[in-house]
Amino acid sequence: MRRFNAEMNKPLSIALLSCAALLAACAHAPPTHNPMATWVPSPNFDERRPVIIVLHATEQKSVKQSLDTLRSANRGGKVSAHYLVGDDGHIYQLVDDSKRAWQAGGGSWGAITDLNSASIGIEIDNERGEAYTDAQIASVMRLLDDLCTRLNIPRRQVIGHSDLAPTRKVDPGARFPWKTLADAGFGRWPQGELVDPPSGFDPWLAMAAVGYSVRDRAAAVRAFHRHYRAQDDGDDPQATFDSQDLRILYALNASVFATTP
């Protein structure tokens, strides 16, 4: 009988030990509510959500290498992204949509200065200068449609890494087909016939209105050229606008002020 009782008590003992461990863990967990304040809950709230999508190029040799990097570190430390799209169009998810992936780094877009907190990051398997595959772009657009629909991210709020960090980054590069994405409704693109801007048009104010930081003007122009002219200026410190750039900027500004940010 004693042996029978001991055997019967084993599950109970294990359960008690498990409960004790959980209680100990809870004792060290940070409080959900601020102890300085009286908790008076309101039903009027929502979860924090990303408001922008940042597209990257991995600039590595394979999906396997990029998966390893995005789960460990590169030369600058630990990095990650929410998604990775392979050459064949396969989509990998590495970080939950609701979590803050370490993908954008320093930079800004408009008034947003903490892009990691405000964005979803999509890495695309691509070595620098390599053409993107049709399968990749089709998968990127399917993913963008899903994210914009499910997370209520404005479809025009799709940018490149170099757009938000023009002094540091060049990806996804001049060969990325932004016009193809724009035709599907993603990102900003000049609409209608391009015309010369009126006298007094300020291209730097126009760049800032689109979202670019203009602290380093040459870097901002280089990023603009990669996105809207499929042009790579390298590290040219004298990069500047030509007349077609001004027409594009004027048209972009018309779209900016015609819609709610």
Which of 7, 47, 123, 130 is flagged as catalytic? Answer: 123
- Report the C-alpha gap between 108 and 111 in whole angstroms: 7
Instruction: Tell which residue, 235, 231, 211, has the closest CA to residue 157.
Output: 211
**How many angstroms separate the Cα of 189 from the Cα of each of 5, 74, 181, 216?**
76, 33, 9, 23
CA–CA dist 129, 151 (Å, integer): 32
- Cα 257 to chain center, whole Å? 23
Does 123 qualify as catalytic in the annotation?
A: yes
Sheet holding 83-85, edge to edge: 91-93, 83-85, 119-124, 52-57, 158-160
d(CA 120, CA 50): 6
Torsion of Cα atoms, 129 then 131 then 135 then 140, to 10°:
50
Q: Among residues 204, 200, 109, 93, which one has the least CA distance to residue 158?
A: 109
* Cα–Cα distance for residue pair 20/28, rounded to 1 Å: 13
* Residues designated as active site: 123
